[in-house]
Homo-oligomer: A and B are copies of this chain.
Amino acid sequence: MAEEVPFQFLHNELVQYIYKSADSGETENGRNITKLENMGFRVGQGLIERLTKETARFKDELDTMKFICKDFWTCVFKKQIDNLRTNHQGIYVLQDSKFRLLSQLAVGKQYLEQAPKYLAFTCGLVRGALSSLGVKSIVTAEVSLMPACKFQVIIQKN
């Protein structure tokens, strides 16, 4: 059995729970996305602290991003990011061609609109992890063909 499944099921319950009580209004949806993003942020912070306890400091931003794509992603999703691209000016695109937290959603265009609520937690997760490594960022996600998914990380320079 796939090891990531308990995490996936628990995440699914969390999304359901947060959305259950909500009316389907736009404002409420935005608020729920924020809640999920914040929870992801804290989990990301906690995880990266555990993961980097015995890791040497990263030599640069790209090195940090590679760690997120490999070790961090594998810890949470039991697979690596499939593709990492950067413009070398602080924008990174992380592509996961089979994103676990979407794999329970039925594949099909009509479910695309459901996708954002299954991505918010992970956006926060990446932002939290980077934040604990001293990198401030904005993280967004997009799905074109499920369950493939792209996370865009924009580094915030001080």
Contacts and interface: CB of A to CB of B under 8 A. Distances in A.
Interface of A: 1, 3, 5-7, 9-11, 13-14, 17-18, 35, 39, 42-43, 46-47, 50-51, 75-76
Contact of A13 (B9, B42, B75): B42
Contacts of A10: 7, 10-11, 14, 39, 43
B6 A76 contact: yes
A41 B119 CA distance: 24
Copies of the protein in its oligomer: 2
Contacts of A35: 17
Interface centre among A7, A10, A14 (most CB of B within 10 A): A10
Contact of A47 (B6, B11, B50): B6
Contacts of A75: 1, 3, 5-6
